[in-house]
Structure 1
Amino acid sequence: MNTIYEDGTYLQNHPTWHEEDSPWKAKQIAKIIKRNNLNPLTICEIGCGAGEILNSLQTEFSDKTSFYGYEISPNAFEICNSKSNKKLHFFLKDLLNEKEAIFDLVMAIDVFEHVEEYFGFLRKLKEKGKYKLFHIPLDLSVQTVLRSSPILKDRLLYGHIHYFTKETALATLKDTGYEVLDYFYTCPCLELQNRGGWKSSLLNVPRKLLFSINQDLAVRILGRFSLLVLAK
């Protein structure tokens, strides 16, 4: 699956590399870090894409914090490397192969659902920082399983090859040696404009209403949520 990120296929499907969603994701990340009273001096993102999450995070932390992005796609690296500055550094390398690269906080934002051997990936990533932060799409829900087309669409369009519920996502982290410290749901389809097609937009009204009543039930039935998880 890595070839679609290295041969230009993913860039062709997503010319911005989801750069437009990054400021919103950065705010969710800053929220969970601050509510757990963490003060990381080094923050790293594996699979940093366009680098805009790290770029946006600079405004959320003091000048003492440095940011590092690792990316295997030459196309994405060309985008993110243009944003480098004295606090923000990018590398066209696989972080897991860099023995000396250790950080206070390592982030994998919408990453391991793309990785073929994701258990091995998670075990190796665990050694790269004291704290780890994951953003995990919860592709499995009653409506996506019944319709099946949303899952197949995400497979073809976004390269998702593993599918999770909240319970299986958390169990996966625990099975690979992580201690889960905190988590909460995020929903880009409710908070960002122009997310999904008209069918998804029609579901946003009941999705928002049900989520206000019972979060787990809304996620389990209607889907299109993700899980932000802080672990160590």
Structure 2
Amino acid sequence: MAESRYVNGGYLERNPSWHSEDSPVKAAWIDAVLRRNSLDPKSVAEIGTGAGGVLAGLQTLRPNSRYIGFEISPQAFSLAQSRAKVDLDFRLEDMILTGRSGYDLLLAIDVFEHVPDYIGFLRALVNRATYKLFHIPLDMSVQMLLRRGLFQDIRRNLGHLHYFSRETAFDTLADCGYEIVDWNYTFWSRELPDLPLRTRIANVPRRLLAGLNEDFAVRMMGGASVMVLTR
């Protein structure tokens, strides 16, 4: 089964850091959305917390809140535990099955593209918190379709089972009962650390196209995700 890679060590083998080097940037992206919408959640949960770096980074930016991260991978949970402290806790459990709820904010950062039944997953979360914040990779672009092997690489190395454009991501959330409050693109291809040379080269046409039309640039060249705040 595709999800077994997260419990048998297969995902950790391909991603030894569990992408923790990206966490400070992602925490800053989340903080920017909350500031823009004048939100100050006092209880924040994260499903699929991974190595816990996003919550740790968010606690640095917003130290007066309580944070709890849920993770099904024993390997990721072990990494996250090293970050646990006062008001920052991690649980090795499936939040969907436990029924935990009542949070001000629930984060699902680069998560549901990994879940086989992503529709069921989203429907199960819709009433777990007042606000829900999703970060969704936009894998569906013209470049991805034209370059042979990229989808297979993403599936094999990153574990993405589903591929979204902005429109299909928004429609999925709406179909599952979410009301979109705010959204913005995030550009991993520009802002995440230690990007490979080919990504930096591709950023040249990405920036040129974005100067003309940002939506068109994302559709053509990819290199972006979308951050979506919902109720």
Report TM bin, short chain: over 0.9
Question: Which whole-Å CA distance do the structure 2 matches of 1:81 and 1:192 have between them?
Answer: 24
Q: In the alignment, what sits opposite 1:69?
A: 69
TM-score (norm 2): 0.96
Deviation of residue 224 (structure 1)? 1.7
Cα distance in structure 2, aligned partners of 1:177 and 1:131: 13
Q: Which residue of 2 aligns with 1:99?
A: 99
After superposition, the CA RMSD in angstroms is 1.1
Deviations 1:25-79 (A, max 9, x none): 000000001100111110011000000100010122142x100000000000001
TM-score (norm 1): 0.96
Gaps of 5+ in 2: none
Q: Report % sequence identity.
A: 46
Q: Is the 8 A contact 1:101 1:128 kept in 2?
A: yes
Task: Find the counterpart in structure 2 of residue 4 from structure 1.
Answer: 5
1:134 aligns with 2:134: yes
Q: Distance in 2 between matches of 1:74 and 1:185?
A: 31
Larger CA deviation: 149-158 vs 162-171: 149-158
Matched, 1:187 2:187: yes
Aligned partner of 1:154 in structure 2 is 154
Partner of 1:209: 208
1:212 and 1:55 map into 2 onto residues whose CA distance is 34
Output the CA distance in 2 between the equivalents of 1:19 and 1:198.
21
For the pair 1:199 / 2:198, whether they are aligned, the reply is: yes
Please tell me the residue identity of whatever aligns with 1:81. Answer: Q
Helix, strand or coil: the match of 2:69?
Answer: strand
Divergent runs of 4+, >3 A: none
Residue 127 of structure 1: SS of its match in structure 2? coil
Q: Secondary structure at the match of 2:126?
A: helix
Deviation sequence 1:77-129 (CA, Å, 0-9, x none): 00101211111010000111122432110010000000001000000011210
Q: Give the deviation of 1:149 after TM superposition.
A: 1.8
The offset of 1:209, in angstroms, is 2.1
Partner of 1:60: 61
Contact 1:190 1:208 in 2 (8 A): no
Equivalent residue for 1:14?
15
Paired residues of 2:101 and 2:127 also in contact (CA < 8 A): no
Whether 1:228 and 2:188 are equivalent positions in the alignment is no
What is the CA distance between 1:191 and its match in structure 2? 1.3
Q: 1:90 to 1:193 in 2, by over 3 A?
A: closer
Work out the CA distance in 2 between the residues paired with 1:171 and 1:89.
Answer: 33
CA distance in structure 1 between the partners assigned to 2:198 and 2:104 by the alignment: 41
- Unaligned stretches of 5+ in structure 1? none
CA distance in structure 1 between the partners assigned to 2:61 and 2:132 by the alignment: 18
